[in-house]
Amino acid sequence: MALLEVSDLRTYFKTREGEVHAVDGVSFNVEEGKVLGIVGESGCGKSVTSLSIMGLVQNPGRVVSGSVLFDGRELTTLTDRELEDVRGRSIAMIFQDPMTSLNPVLTIGTQITETLRRHMNLSSADAKKRAIELLEEVHIPDAARRLSDYPHRFSGGMRQRVMIAMAISCNPRLLIADEPTTALDVTVQAGVLDLLDELRIQHNMTMMMITHNMGVVAEVADDILVMYAGQVVEQAPAMDLFGRPEHPYTEALLASLPHLEGENVRNGRLVSIPGRPPDLLAPPEACRFAPRCKYAGLDDCNVVAPELREVRTGHWVRSAHPTSERTAVPVGAGAP
Amino acid sequence: MSEPAPSAASRNGEPLLAVTGLKKYFPIKEGLLIDRTVDYVRAVDDVSFEVRQGETLGLVGESGSGKSTTGYCVLRLLKPTAGSVRFDGEELTTMPRNALRRMRREMQIVFQDPYASLNPRMTIGDIVGEPLLVHKIGDRKRRRRTVEELLEVVGFNPDFVNRYPHEFSGGQRQRIGVARALALNPRLIVCDEPVSALDVSIQAQILNLLKDLQKAFGLAYLFIAHDLAVVREMSDKIAVMNHGKIVEMGSADEVYTNPRHEYTKALLASVPVPDPLKMRERKAERRKLKHVLAEAL
Amino acid sequence: MAATDQREAAFEAASSRRRDFEETLTRTAEARGTEAGAALGRASLWKDAYYRFIANKASVVASFAFVVLLAYVIFVPIFSRYDPYEVDFAQAYSPPSTEHFFGTDQFGRDLFLRTALGGRVSFAIGFAATFAIMFIGITYGAVSGFVGGRLDNGLMRFLDALYGLPYLPFAIITLAIFGTVNFWTMVVALTIASWFTTARVMRGQIITLKENDYVRAAYAVGAPRRRVLFRHLLVNTLGVIIVFVFLELPGVILGEAFLSFIGLGISPPKASWGTLAQEGYVEYQAHPYIIVIPSLMIAWLILSAFFIADGLRDALDPRMKET
């Protein structure tokens, strides 16, 4: 059974110019024990999706419709109080910038034990003991001593480790990581990703990894969701997605990445995607990628909005021209 | 490799930019009333490299490695503590301010953050035209035409010269920054993380633009970035920096396929690649290099 | 000092929150437009600021109140049928009525008119002193921040020393040294110990702005320092300067009123609001309206200026856009 079931989630932001459809009908499941990667460029709605799940969307944003079932429990209708409880215990979240999530005037020991005492009802001595254990678990050297340090005494990577320690302190079942390594150096990033993987297995956690980095999802995710302009455009197991990308956007995105190794390094120009994503104030009633898609125009792409459909087992795509169908149709002959 | 005399005759064989023994130390000050220097941060510590006409040297490293400081010292936006920077045979480190201003025509810079690199109170036309104005090149009308040409070159609609930077997206702003750098027809451009603030699809547009410009104008690039794949894509030669020092330098292929220094190896093993199949391999490699990575923490 | 720090911290927190939100908006705005090269069609910086200002109801009301007060001060003396200096003891101490909206004083002079004239004096002194404060503060702070190094160190140490000076006592001493109180000595007295904060904020602004890449870019293209200072740094502090005008103005006017109230004001028969209040003080039990009205005027001005400053700060704070 899926631990998290999101269906038809819509989150809009009211602005002076109108309503921005930041998340526009997103549905997906996260299976127990798996890692779901959500990948997309800035403004695609990936972060707002995770905030909507946690009930953390702030004014002028609003979850307009949709349901979020966590372990069979509907989250969208919970009161703030109930949500707070879910957030602390069952679902934990880590963000891009650990500095803004840590209170600069409290020692990290105080911050960790506070969480522990609130959610786990531990005595202060027990909480302290547990805090040391947690810091050791995230491989912070000399944990007992560092408990009395303030956040600014930690490097970026170390701060993120502290955040992770706090996130796992109440044994959550789901960990949502929103660009957890974006602000970090590559070598530090690798360490944090390895740590997350280790903890996930140890604690039997389900994970959602939100990132713009194709490499990061490839590294950690079992299943991948590609978002574009507030919608899911492709969903597939990681191997299948990277091996045989179906959506023209995913395909172009992968092709636009410079490669570290392999034959096509420095081989002339990179594939770039012309143009920009559509205006989410008034998203077109058509394929949202069509204006930038090199296969559009063979069809009524600019008129009909494609549905998310399964092109092969477990591989969903929202396009009239997925790769596997394109080879079957001679270019220029038009779609059947 | 040796240091030829800066005579006109020997110029053909000489690199466009030769940096030798470059050092930049920032003093750490302490004291209540009167500051006294207690120590130095060795941001750049004895760095040497050269860049030839039309060639790209990639300078790769993590934050705090001193790569950007190196770039600033090359352009003398910062005054180096020691060492020599020769551009086209002329020593820049000791050059007086007036002569330096003249040299600025030859070397330019493109910055990382397209939001901070354009003055929000200036129009696109004024921003791109500023180098021309400052060096008193052409009259008003002529400058205006040059600005439009430059914008055209970087793929930016010249109809928008009277607009302000905040009306444009990151990719477009970066194009404006490139246009400004090109205005004086430089021979060397220091690219300081030019695409790290951009989305992947836009990043490819800018990288392609830089490649095209290099081909078209025979530009030399000092390409500074933390993204190894991007540096690989752009560079002929690569220098890996760590803690203010170049730990490894060589042709791009050499450095990437057969890294010698442990730090380079660790760096390469840390980059997440968009290929789940390679994941296990890289993890094993990382475990082997644990001692180098642990230091980075 | 501690209070200033606290205020600044709260200020910082608020603008960082706004910035976070702005960021989400920028992203979606960035996602607009269909082809590369097309403008995003966002309003200009000033227009954006205008909309943010309009959204702040208190500031809009305050601006309206400020304009009404200004209009009262400017137009009433032009159209009034009374002579502000004519003594008519028959009319002395008549309470507010339809004939005399604000009543009359001990000499039977119309207070509706005299209050407007007093306002002119208060406003004139206020604006002149604010202008002087801005000029000195901006110059001092900009030079200090821009040049940096030893000069900055020296100038700031000097400022630290001055910071201890109490504002009003110092103004009183200044007036005492001059020996006479007229418009200009009043302006000098009010300015002399109140430009420190402006200078300090200005220096901070310049130092922050100096770190922007566009400043580096200007040096890289060979722009002379003068151009960098004026074209790249000072123009970008415009928002802060406007906010500071409205923050300084009420302080200065209150200072002037206080000095006048304790008898160090502009000499009669001319009067500022402070002088009027002082005249009313003598008779406050018998004729309370004489002191109440100018006091209310001062409060009106101060409150509206503060709310305008507050709204402007939200609307113009350049930190929202540029960092």
Q: Omega before C269 cis (within 30°)?
A: yes
Instruction: Tell me what pLDDT residue C52 has.
Output: 81
C13 within domain boundaries: no
ipTM for this model? 0.86
CA distance B135 to chain A (A): 34
The residue whose two tokens read 């002082």 is C278
* pLDDT tens-digit series, residues C162-200: 888 888 888 899 999 998 888 899 999 999 988 999 999
- Categorize the per-residue pLDDT at C29 as very low, low, confident or very high, splitting at 50, 70 and 90: very low
Contacts for C320-323: CB closer than 8 Å, 24+ residues apart: C320/C15, C320/C18, C320/C19, C320/C22, C321/B120, C321/B166, C321/C22, C321/C45, C322/B115, C322/B116, C322/B120, C322/C209, C322/C212, C322/C236, C323/B116, C323/C19, C323/C208
Contact A34, A205 (CB under 8 A): no
Closest CA of chain B from C39, distance in Å: 6
Which segments of chain C are extended strands (E)?
Answer: none
CA A249, CA A252: separation in Å to the nearest integer?
A: 5
Contact A16 C51 (CB under 8 A): yes
pLDDT for res B163: 87
The secondary structure element, H or E, covering residue B183 is none
Cα separation, B62 vs A193, whole angstroms:
17
Is residue B261 within 8 Å of residue B273, measured between CB atoms? no
* CATH classification of the domain holding C143: 1.10.3720.10
- Please give the pLDDT value at position C20: 41
> Which chain C residues contact residue A58 at CB under 8 A?
21
Q: How many angstroms away from the CA of B169 is the closest CA of chain A?
A: 9
- Chain C: closest CA distance from residue A278 (Å): 6
- pLDDT value for A300: 77
Domain that holds residue C162: 66-80+100-320
For chain C, the domain total comes to: 1
* Secondary structure of residue B77 in the 3-state scheme: coil
Distance from the C2 Cα atom to the nearest Cα atom in chain A, whole angstroms? 16
The answer to whether the CB atoms of A13 and C28 lie below 8 A apart is yes
Name the closest residue on chain B to residue A159, using Cα atoms: B297
- Grade residue C64 by pLDDT with cuts at 50, 70 and 90: very high
HSE of C286, CA atoms in CB hemisphere, 13 A: 9
Q: Which of A308-312, C29-33, C120-124, C279-283 has the lowest mean pLDDT?
A: C29-33
What pLDDT does C107 receive? 78
Residue among C33, C45, C217 whose CB faces B109 most closely: C217
> Which among B155, B166, B183 has the least Cβ separation from residue C45?
B166
Please answer whether residues C243 and C183 qualify as being in contact, where contact means their C-beta atoms are separated by less than 8 angstroms.
Answer: no
pLDDT at residue A329, as a whole number: 47
C312 found inside a domain: yes
Parts of chain A with a pLDDT under 70: 98-99, 262-267, 298-299, 327-336
Per-residue three-class SS string for chain A: CEEEEEEEEEEEEEECCEEEEEEEEEEEEEECCCEEEEECCCCCCHHHHHHHHHCCCCCCEEEEEEEEEECCEECCCCCHHHHHHHHHHCEEEECCCHHHHCCCCCCHHHHHHHHHHHHHCCCHHHHHHHHHHHHHHCCCCCHHHHCCCCHHHCCHHHHHHHHHHHHHCCCCCEEEEECCCCCCCHHHHHHHHHHHHHHHHHHCCEEEEEECCHHHHHHHCCEEEEEECCEEEEEEEHHHHHHCCCCHHHHHHHHHCCCCCCCCCCCCCCCCCCCCCCCCCCCCCCCCCHHHCCCCCCCCCCCCCCCCEEEECCEEECCCCCHHHHCCCCCCCCCC
For the segment C83-107, what is each residue's pLDDT rounded down to a tens digit? 877 787 888 777 888 888 888 877 7
Contact (Cβ atoms closer than 8 angstroms) between residue C89 and residue C80: no
pLDDT along chain B (297 residues), means of 10: 39 83 89 74 94 94 92 94 93 91 92 88 93 90 90 87 86 93 93 90 89 90 93 93 94 90 90 83 82 62
C117 contact partners, CB below 8 Å, separation of at least 6? C77, C84, C270, C271
Give the pLDDT confidence score for residue B147 in this predicted structure. 92
Distance, CA of A303 to chain centre: 30
Query: Across the beta sheet with B220-225, what order do the strands follow?
Result: B107-110, B188-192, B220-225, B56-60, B237-242, B245-251
Calpha distance C72→C234 (Å, rounded): 35
- The confidence score (pLDDT) of residue C190 equals 92
- Put simply, the answer to whether A242 touches B257 (Cβ < 8 Å) is no
Partner residue opposite A252 with nearest CB, options B201, B256, B286: B201
Residues 49-88 of B with CB under 8 A from A: 62-63
How many Cβ contacts (< 8 angstroms) between chains A and C?
46
Among all residues of chain C, which has the CA nearest to that of A279? C32
Tell me whether residue C33 is in a domain: no
Check residue B277 and give its pLDDT: 82
Asked if the C-beta of C64 comes within 8 angstroms of chain B's C-beta atoms, the answer is no
CA separation (Å) from A221 to A4, A6, A97, A208, B49? 16, 18, 21, 8, 41
- Helix H or strand E segment including C170: helix C167-178
The set of chains that have 3 or more CB pairs under 8 A with B is A, C
Confidence at residue C36, expressed as pLDDT on a 0 to 100 scale: 37
Q: Is residue C257 assigned to a domain?
A: yes
Q: C92: which 2 tokens?
A: 């002395």
Per-residue pLDDT, A265: 61
Residue with token string 């009301």: C61
Give tens-digit pLDDT for C252-310.
999 998 888 888 877 766 788 888 888 888 777 888 888 888 899 999 999 999 999 88
Q: Considering the domain boundaries, does residue C19 fall inside one?
A: no
Coil, strand or helix: which one is C32?
coil
**Chains with 3 or more CB pairs closer than 8 angstroms to C?**
A, B
Question: Which residues does chain A have within 8 Å of residue C36's beta carbon, measured at their own beta carbons?
Answer: 274-276
Out of B112, B130, B169, name the one closest to residue C221 (CB).
B130
Are B111 and C213 within 8 A, CB to CB?
Answer: yes
What's residue C278's pLDDT? 83
Contacts for A61 with CB less than 8 Å, ≥ 6 apart: A11, A12, A13, A14, A22, A48, A51
- C51 and A16 in contact (C-beta within 8 Å)? yes
Confidence of residue C44 (pLDDT cuts 50, 70, 90): low
- By C-alpha distance, the chain B residue nearest C214 is B117
Structure tokens at C191: 């300015």
Query: In the structure, how many helices (H) and strands (E) does chain B have?
Result: 11, 10
The answer to whether position C29 is within a domain reads no
Closest-CA residue of chain C to B154: C37
Query: What's the whole-model pTM score?
Result: 0.83
Any domain includes C1: no
Q: Write down the residue that tokens 């020092």 correspond to.
A: B245
* In the block, residue with structure tokens 């990445």: A257
Sheet holding B90-91, edge to edge: B36-51, B17-30, B82-87, B90-91
Check residue B33 and give its pLDDT.
64
Instruction: Please report whether residue C268 resides in a domain.
Output: yes
Q: How far is C314 from chain A (nearest CA, A)?
A: 16
Q: Is A313 on the interface with C (CB under 8 A)?
A: no
The rounded mean pLDDT for chain C is: 80
Could you give the domains of chain A?
2-227 (3.40.50.300), 246-325 (no CATH)
Beta carbons within 8 Å of A324's beta carbon, 6+ residues apart: A244, A246, A311, A312
Residue A227: the pLDDT is: 95
